[in-house]
Structure 1
Amino acid sequence: MNRRSFLKTSAATAVVAGAGLPAFAADEPLKIGFIYVGPVGDMGWSYQHDQGRKAIEAEYGDKVKTSFIENVPEGPDAERALTQLALEGNKLIFATSFGFMDAVMNVAKKFPDVKFEHATGYKRADNVATYDAKFYQGRAIQGTIGGRMTKTNKIGYIGSFPIPEVYQGINAAYLAAKKVNPDVEMKVVWAYTWFDPAKEADAASALIADGVDVLLQHTDSTAPQAKAQEAGNVITFGQASDMSSFAPKPRVSSTIDNWAPYYVKRAGAVMDGTWKSEATWGGIDTGMVEIGEISDAVPADVKAEALQLKDDIAAGKAHPFTGPLNKQDGSAFLAEGEVATDEQLQSMTFYVEGITAEPPK
């Protein structure tokens, strides 16, 4: 098996009152498995999912037993890892990366009595649910801060893969920055990876060399922060988790993915027999997307503006994608006052007008 993953199991000890387990013996714990695309110590995407796993243990005590496999590449290895977890008796399995989607669907067919949850995907089945977060909302707040703080008027974005989730973030950050700074430019480098510190460092170096002094990312390691720290005049934002080791500069704030409430809820649904296949897409209003501490490196008026935008998005008073908006090629996307629907955003595979970066082929 061409992966560096290994299996870890842990059983919690506190006892919490709860319903019996309809699909298995009531005196046996519910076994829950996770697969991660990166290491749990990356302080980014996989780290936050593992915090959610620990939250399940804290909530349900010895009624659950969790395990995880980290560093699972997207592709055939994912199918093997999922099969391993199913054969080990896990009745609920969380697959936490977009590229695990087809593996989840294939394995779910073979284990109809196992419930699968796939993060950021869109394919479902009777025993497969999907869940995602509106990351673009956090990017809009980062764009507001970046647009106000840039001195070169160049904001850089490290993209992972050209899928709707990533386009949403790039476009939302640009539109928010442009709103507060009409002179801002958005530079994009695609790393074609979720987690590869070397590639992420190269992408950051290329953007910094191009004059970028605000750096955003949709990749998971802290390598871009390290490169920004070396440059000395570049600010960054934590991705998926706080990444506070780079505070107060270059990290001036973060988007934090809070999966814990969802994981606790879904584990409980399996135990009380109410689990069903559904699609969840939570945002700032549900707490699935959080804005980390905005450091003192950010001017007080900019901080206040960013926090007001956060509150307005949560209350439905503001939406990062409100017309009039065109696509990069000049064709219409949203009319005056029109707000993008979830369906439009979930199929977004284009830059908005004003971003001059060449789209990936």
Structure 2
Amino acid sequence: MSATIHRIGGREPSLEPMLSLVAPDLNLVNAVILDRMNSDIPLIPELAGHLIAGGGKRMRPMLTLASARLLEYSGTRHHKLAAAVEFIHTATLLHDDVVDSSDLRRGRRTANIIWGNPASVLVGDFLFSRSFELMVEDGSLKVLKILSGASATIAEGEVNQLTAVRRIDLSEERYLDIIDAKTATLFAAACKIAAVVAERGEREESALDAYGRNLGIAFQLVDDAIDYISTAEAMGKDAGDDFREGKMTLPVILAYARGSEGDRAFWKEAVAGRRVADEDFAEAVRLVQASRAVEDTLARARHYGQRAIDALGGFAPGGAKDAMVEAVEFAVARAY
């Protein structure tokens, strides 16, 4: 786990190079998103727009666009498909916030708090349906297979996580299975479909899948570490949400495994939902940091980030490749 990620020119990594690279395409994707989330039922665009316009980085559709640039694809099919990717992501967020009873997302009140759980679930279903319309319009069975398979895998990952909540015995292996399914799968699919529309071979498809998947795992590992080292303002959600929901993320798995008998007794009570006060979360933060669980979680994130960068090794140098490398660096650097 000692892999190190080299920063370009010694400066802080940023998403700006990728944003600049895909800006014209992203404007076209946003136009598709606005068009397709429209409905004669006013609540649908109102609720969907709250989340879609809520300050998200558009990371997943940007990956589709950047991957297409990497492959020098000059067509337009990827615009609708990038919108489909964003709709899948947004739908899962709407459903997740209902499942988790979340109050904040990206620093704003969640849709389920404003409009209620039933509306959030149903609008999420609407966005899933719109994503499948866009896939069908593309006309490629291979693209349809990749994105529909990703949607099913994400749902499986969410159910797997649901059944793992408040399970103090959750293994690191199962945790990685969960984040691979619920987060990394869509990153991988978003990148891989660019190789399909660009009519490239299996080698390019596999390389972009590996890039996206490893980036997605690194991204989620950093998110899980941030829950124990950051503030609500920095995270865009309530500090300690994962802790109070009894989620066994990697920092907790490592802290529990390394803890004393007294530490383990605390974690058992906390994960069972009997220690959820602010002072309990403060104790959890202390134990996680004292056991070096955060450092080791971030070391694993760097490891997967380096694997993502290595997956681009077979592609020609250029602005697109540099931007995709720096996107990995940015994803990992968010915790520092």
With CA pairs under 8 Å and 6+ residues apart, which has the higher RCO, 1 or 2? 2
Higher helix share: 2
Q: TM-score, normalized by length of structure 2?
A: 0.28
Q: TM-score, normalized by length of structure 1?
A: 0.27
